[in-house]
Amino acid sequence: MRIFELLNLDGPATATLLAERLGENTGTVSWHLRHLAEHGFIEEETGRGTKRERWWRRIPVRNELNTAEFRNDPDSRGAVSLYTHELVQQYFNRVTSYISEDWEGDWRNAGTIADWTNLRLTPHQLMQLNAELAEVISRHTPAADAEPAPGALPVVVQLQAFPRKTRGTG
């Protein structure tokens, strides 16, 4: 998951570059790259590198996991639970990295970490809210071949919108 995240966030890389960033053995990273490719998550970037230096990139498709599909499958439940735990840990690590970094000028006040806890929605309303938020993000997502605006940096938008069980106050 960390390899896939780096390819997703930073673009194509070799096993050697990824191993350095992750503090892992190049052979181990190469093994994981081959498995990610076998399962259609990444592909070799042809026309770049040499036979010894293979560049890998994320396949530009949207990956979405509907965990509800696995809730009643005891064989999948453990794997899905581990996957979602690791995914949320990656999200947490991104936020803590952002908080700990020193940002200059306009970037210092451009980001936000917020939560809204006073919403009361039905399942349909929550699904509608999530769809509307995805539409907003989509409007701000440039085409793959678009040149970024001068001074633009990569931006991560993380959204978690989910129901919370009501708990007693006393």
Evaluate if residue 94 carries a pLDDT over 60. yes
Q: Which two tokens stand for residue 91?
A: 């999200």
End-to-end C-alpha distance for the chain, whole angstroms: 40
Tell me the residue range of the domain where 9 lies.
2-58
Phi, then psi, of 14 in degrees rounded to 5: -95, 165
Residues 6+ apart with CB under 8 A from 49: 14, 55
Nearest to 164 by CA among 114, 113, 120: 120
How many structural domains compose the chain?
1
48 located within any domain: yes
Q: CA-CA distance, 137 to 47, in Å (whole number)?
A: 32
167 located within any domain: no
Evaluate if residue 61 carries a pLDDT over 80. no
Overall average pLDDT of the 56-80 stretch: 82
23: left (phi over 0), alpha (psi -120 to 50) or beta: left
Cα Rg of the chain, angstroms? 19
Q: CA-CA distance, 115 to 6, in Å (whole number)?
A: 27
Domain containing residue 28: CATH number: 1.10.10.10
Kindly report whether the global pTM for this prediction surpasses the value 0.75: no
Sorting pLDDT into bands at 50, 70 and 90, what band is 144?
confident
Q: CA-CA distance, 108 to 145, in Å (whole number)?
A: 28
pLDDT in tens, 102-135: 999 899 889 999 999 899 999 999 999 999 999 9
Provide the 10 A C-beta neighbour count for residue 16: 14
Give the per-residue pLDDT at 157.
92
Alpha carbon distances (Å) from 146 to 6, 136, 142, 150: 21, 18, 6, 12
Q: CA-CA distance, 90 to 49, in Å (whole number)?
A: 29
13 located within any domain: yes
19 located within any domain: yes
41 located within any domain: yes
pLDDT in tens, 3-30: 999 998 889 999 999 999 999 999 999 9
137 located within any domain: no
